[in-house]
Amino acid sequence: MSGYQFIHVEGYSRSGSNQTIVRKSKLPKRGDLPTKPKSTTYSKWSISQIADEALRVDGACDHVEKPHKPTVLHGVGVREAVADAETWAAEAKDSIGRALRKDGQCLLAGVVSLPSDRASEWDDFKTDCVEWLKSKYGERLRCVIEHTDETHPHLHFYAVPLPGERFEAIHAGKLAVAKLKAAGIVKKGDQNIAYKQAMRGFQDDFWGGVAVMHGLARKGPGKRRLGRAEWVEEQAAAKAKATILQALKQNLVERAANYAKMTKDFIQKTNAAASELAREQIDKFFNSHQADKASLASEREALAKGQAALERAEERAEAQLSHANELIGQLHDRQQAAEIIKAAHEASPAPDEPQPR
């Protein structure tokens, strides 16, 4: 194992721009006149040019001897990520509510690489990188692609703010500066310090989350002016640390797998017990329902019989009532006849009684 980490991020806009970097001049020696600071002007690509380079479009990747199409490791394609950035930029507003300028940054592009002598470890390394990026950016991470057509295997990633967010949401340095501005701190020196500290924190996060697990140093020997022996010693220590961390990680993975299996078994047993209890309850309910159904059928049958008996009783009662009415009618007729006969007798003269002799 050897080498140190490399991860770099930068913001890009819908239109390219020319930027000038002023480098501080060295202090003049005694007797020499002070020199003017040197400045360097370079062209910054637009988001569409970034996509062309990533997709190995002819004329956009002249630095690659034999370009190959990239492999998408996560999310959408590069063109789709650029389209998302353009959509966000069209709706975004600046700090005072104005529409975002064409040269306003809307796409965060980053690159992560591994030393060429570690190419055999690339698959594990890139997997850990993608997981770290997903954890850091969440839904904002739109695309991750892989390039293996250059000396160092590397991946590119692209992030876009969510609707309503500012670009600082995906750029640690710019977020630190925005917080200072919000607090009323406007000195460029203070803002630069905050920016650099935030970006060092970004590098530290990547080292702690990915690089250290693969034996990569946080910084290279040049920046710290380490000698060869010191650098070799540090690399050996990093290798030992990575071995220990990988063992711990593997142990955690195995423990997590065992816990997941225990949880799955418990859930299956619980589901089986619940299913058995549910079946018992269903059977009990079904049997009770069948009994209630049979009882209801018996009650309906008895009710039907009672209804039929009631109807027959009503028919008999109606017949008896009709017969009684007939008898009453006949009796009434007889009374009328008797009264007529009586009235006739009373109206006729009495017969002469015979005279005695």
**Helical H runs in the chain?**
47-54, 78-91, 122-137, 172-182, 188-209, 221-224, 228-347
Residue 116 placed within a domain: yes
Nearest 10 degrees: CA dihedral of 227, 7, 40, 221?
A: 0
The whole-number pLDDT of residue 241 equals: 55
Residue 51 placed within a domain: yes
Residue 107 placed within a domain: yes
The whole-number pLDDT of residue 210 equals: 94
Query: Phi-psi bin for 184: left (phi > 0), alpha (psi -120 to 50), beta?
Result: left
Q: Per the structure, how many domains does the chain have?
A: 1
Q: Can you give the pTM of this predicted structure?
A: 0.63
CA dist 99 and 305 (Å) reads: 87
Task: Give the residue numbers spanning the domain of 118.
Answer: 6-16+39-216
> CATH number for the domain including 206?
3.30.930
The whole-number pLDDT of residue 225 equals: 64
Residue 353 placed within a domain: no
Of the pLDDT bands very low, low, confident and very high (cuts 50, 70, 90), residue 200 is very high
Neighbours of 212 (CB within 10 A): 17
Query: Per-residue pLDDT for 129 more than 60?
Result: yes
Residue 90 placed within a domain: yes
- Mean pLDDT for 245-272 is 70
Residue 356 placed within a domain: no
Of the pLDDT bands very low, low, confident and very high (cuts 50, 70, 90), residue 1 is very low
Residue 142 placed within a domain: yes
Residue 327 placed within a domain: no
The whole-number pLDDT of residue 29 equals: 62
The whole-number pLDDT of residue 150 equals: 93
What is the DSSP-derived secondary structure letter of residue 102? Answer: T
- Mean pLDDT for 80-85 is 97
Q: Exposure pattern of 134-149 as b/e (b: 16+ CB <10 Å)?
A: eebbeebbbbbbbbee
